[in-house]
Amino acid sequence: MKGYHTYKNCIDACLKCAAICNHCASASTQEEDVKMMAGCIQLDMECAAACYAAAQLMSLGSSQAKEICMICAQLCDDCATECSKHNNEHCKECAEACKTCAEACRKM
């Protein structure tokens, strides 16, 4: 049965990405121009939700793991693109985590 051990690398990338996306969203609320960060915060939250869902379904050995990972990869790409527009540490870190996660998800 496929599950946690089969997908461990991707699960780890998803969980790390979700945590960093949450951190980025939270840190973005402390920026001077929060309104300018609204798109970033929204994508951070969407990406984190997709990453958590993908990690859960992979650990369960779901037959839909590959499909959720493709959706997760797309949201990670979108989040990385948005975060790359901002010149702060939390966004740079988030963009990198998203790129790594998208790559892991596409290898599924």
pTM of the model: 0.95
Better-scored residue on pLDDT, 2 or 24: 24
Question: Has residue 3 got a pLDDT over 90?
Answer: no
Distance CA(72)–CA(18), nearest Å, equals: 11
* Residue-wise pLDDT tens digits, 20-69: 999 999 999 999 999 999 999 999 999 999 999 999 999 999 999 999 99
> Which two tokens mark 12?
């780890």
| Contact present, 80 and 99 (Cβ < 8 Å) | yes
| Contact present, 106 and 9 (Cβ < 8 Å) | no
For each of the domains in the chain, give its residue range(s) and CATH number, in order of start: 4-106 (1.20.1270.360)
